[in-house]
Structure 1
Amino acid sequence: MIGMNISRSAATKSLTVLAGLLLAGSLAGCDAAAHVGAKVADAVHSAATSQAPGTGTGTGTGTGTAHPGEAAAAEAQLASIPVKGKAPKTGYSRGQFGPAWSDVDHNGCDTRNDMLRRDLTDVTTKPGTRDCVIASGKLADKYTGKTITFTRGENSADVQIDHIIPLSLAWQTGAQQISAGQRLQLANDPLNLMSADGPANQQKSDSSADAWLPANKAFRCEYVARRTAVKAKYKLWMTRPEHDAIAGILATCK
């Protein structure tokens, strides 16, 4: 099974779309990455929303399955990303990426609540907030395979919004060289965001893919594909250890 409780047909369809978009981005070059990346986010969301609610199954035993063409598409995009050493962290602050959880899509709701609405099932909202503030729901957590019942105020920290490419890592791998507006978009891009188990997110911290991977092995193929897509979209680079770790995972996604 691909991911957690995703039907094989739904997951295969979504991963096929994702793979095609990744390949399109690598062939079109960096100038097309932003357009392709937005479509990749839609494909990833399609896979996520095909999960059965509240039925996590644990950590799995593999790195996920994919057809050879899907892995090849992600590998093609990986090959387009420069490999360099990390730049100094000098000058980094969260403020370099704009106010936390800005409403960049101007829908009246902040990014954190947008992501909770996207990723949770059985969602309820706080009265008087125009249905923006998520009050409760269930998360089928992709990092751990657990199902987490979320209630705002009671266990809010149990569900956190993770930057798949951590912002401090992004800063050290090219984000210093993009505009403030692009950094704001990176910090709020659904492609780079996922509701996640709080302790797992804290453990991950600002790690690159060579230093941390999800305990849920069935999610690792999608995880490294999304890291690759974000790097390409925002013209970031990878270190050699991260590149090789991602290449190693993609080689098993068949």
Structure 2
Amino acid sequence: MLTRGMIHAVTALCTAFLLLASGTGCAAVAGQRPAPGSPGRDRLEQLLGAVRVVERRPHPGGYERGCGAGQGCVFGPAWSDDHDGPGGRDGCDTRNNVLARQLTGVGYRPGTHRCVVRSGTLADPYTGALIVFSRETARRIPIDHIYPLAAAWDFGASEWPIAQRIRFANDIDYNLQATDDAANTDKSDSTPADWLPPSRPGHCYYAGRYLTVALRYQLPVTAADHMALRRIAAACG
């Protein structure tokens, strides 16, 4: 079984688009074309012009993601299928819905009615790597909330009905991205002023997705976020 260190070592030696026989993919390199699905400069400028900008991130308190006894569970149980958004109440949890959409060559666990993903390959827009998903590596491919839950809470989701918060937390169309666990951990609940994908070819993709979510849910960005995203837009084709 490949360790994370082995994966990163191989990634550093690979050229773009080369898939090793071992199944470990190669990281994006400087000058590689933008991640698939990346918007161009004009589209990003439109989004930047439409999004609401605030001076700084407030901290109203009360955010508690956990759903254990006595915990707030403010966005509902993780990867709940019980919501009225895309993929909701289809018999598959949100994590498996995301994996089924974003991996290629998907294989399913027998007897789960094509629900539980057990194999595939992720072209990770955050790191530029091709990452093999298997039973052994499943824990190393988490699902990121592009617009973080904690940030959404701070910027207004604390006032939403619980059904809207659960829908937001499980929005497979706009706000969820499978990625490498190191990138996901490094990002945590940061917004674009404090974190960007480690792979530059993924910046335009991330900026477009972040702004789209903000507009869809009428969430703002800070002035610092707006500046960081504008710098990204200037470099997008």
* CA distance in 1 between partners of 2:61 and 2:232 (Å): 31
State the Cα deviation string for residues 150-184 of structure 1 (Å, max 9, x = none).
222x2222111111111011111221233222211
Which residue of 1 is the match for residue 41 of structure 2?
A: 71
Which residue of 1 is the match for residue 209 of structure 2?
A: 226
The match for 1:185 among 149, 161, 167 is 167
* CA distance in 2 between partners of 1:162 and 1:79 (Å): 26
Greater CA radius of gyration, 1 or 2?
2
* CA distance in 1 between partners of 2:40 and 2:191 (Å): 23
Q: Secondary structure at the match of 1:96?
A: coil
The match for 2:57 among 62, 86, 91 is 86
- Residues 1:137 and 2:131 aligned together: no
* CA distance in 2 between partners of 1:126 and 1:164 (Å): 28
State the Cα deviation string for residues 34-92 of structure 1 (Å, max 9, x = none).
xxxxxxxxxxxxxxxxxxxx7854233259569xx942232122222222221215110
* CA distance in 2 between partners of 1:158 and 1:126 (Å): 18
Which residue of 1 is the match for residue 144 of structure 2?
A: 162
* CA distance in 2 between partners of 1:137 and 1:239 (Å): 37
8 Å CA contact retained: 1:64, 1:217 = no
Q: How many residues align?
A: 200
Report 1:20-39 matches (<5 A): none
- Report the RMSD for the aligned CA atoms in angstroms: 2.2
8 Å CA contact retained: 1:92, 1:168 = yes
Report how far residue 137 of structure 1 moved.
1.6
* CA distance in 2 between partners of 1:170 and 1:62 (Å): 33
Which residue of 1 is the match for residue 4 of structure 2?
A: none
Which residue of 2 is the match for residue 102 of structure 1?
A: 80
* CA distance in 2 between partners of 1:143 and 1:189 (Å): 19
Which residue of 1 is the match for residue 130 of structure 2?
A: 147
* CA distance in 1 between partners of 2:60 and 2:113 (Å): 40
Which residue of 2 is the match for residue 60 of structure 1?
A: 29
- Residues 1:244 and 2:227 aligned together: yes
Which residue of 2 is the match for residue 47 of structure 1?
A: none
Report how far residue 233 of structure 1 moved.
0.5
Runs of 4+ in 1 over 6 A off after TM superposition: none
Aligned sequence identity (%) = 43
Report how far residue 194 of structure 1 moved.
0.9
TM-score, normalised via structure 2 length: 0.77
* CA distance in 2 between partners of 1:79 and 1:183 (Å): 26
8 Å CA contact retained: 2:127, 2:202 = no
The gaps in structure 2 that reach 5 residues or longer are 1-15, 18-22, 66-72
- Comparing both structures, which one devotes a greater share of its residues to helix? 1
The gaps in structure 1 that reach 5 residues or longer are 6-53
* CA distance in 1 between partners of 2:117 and 2:93 (Å): 11
8 Å CA contact retained: 2:34, 2:202 = no
TM-score, normalised via structure 1 length: 0.72
* CA distance in 2 between partners of 1:218 and 1:65 (Å): 4
- Residues 1:171 and 2:153 aligned together: yes
